[in-house]
Each structure stands twice: as C-alpha cells, then as structure tokens.
Amino acid sequence: MQVLESPDLEQLLQEYFGHTAFREGQRQVVEAVLAGKDVLAVMPTGSGKSLCYQLPAMLLDGLTPPYGQVSGRIDAGWHSSTLSDARQ
C-alpha cells in the first residue's frame, strides 16, 4: 500500500470538497488511513464519516470500496422492508 508523506490536508479538503476545516475526528481518521493503518471510525450520523475515506481514496493508488455507503443502503433497505413487513 502506498503511504503518503504529510499532504496539505486542509488544501485538499478545500479543493475536493469545498470545506475550509475538518469536523471533529475527521483529520485523525484521514491521517491514519493515509499512514496505512487499519481504521474503524465510529461517528454519529452526519459527522462526515464518508469524507474520512473518500479523501484518502482520492490520494491513494488502487481501489477503495465505498463500504459506508453500501452498508447504509443495506441498513436502509432492511429497515424499510421490516417496516413494510410489519404493516402487512
């Protein structure tokens, strides 16, 4: 795995996402991913978890599976099917 030397993360955040600052915890997750560490980020809904993996994915070689979006859709599908099953 390619490990990057300290990119200017704020500049990249602004360039790719239009944000001027990271939210709480995001920078630490991004730095750990870029350092090649295994990372599990447990953050509240709306805290910007996706960015924590999208930004490194744009900087690193290779493919990055969009697990957060996939699992969210799976959970949403399960929830809606559970609700519709309960109504029947």
Within a domain: 71: yes
The answer to the question of residue 55 being in a domain is yes
pLDDT, one tens digit per residue, over 56-83 is: 988 888 876 665 555 555 555 554 444 4
pLDDT for the residue numbered 50: 87
Residue 49 lies in a domain: yes
In a domain, 42, yes or no: yes
% of the chain with per-residue pLDDT over 90: 30
Greater confidence (21 vs 75) lies with 21
CATH number at residue 76: 3.40.50.300
Residue 28's domain comprises 9-87
Flag whether 18 is in a domain: yes
| pLDDT at 20 (0 to 100) | 93
Q: Which of 28, 35, 84, 87 is nearest to 59 (CA)?
A: 35
Residue type, 61: D
At 28, the amino acid letter reads Q
Total domains in the fold of the chain = 1
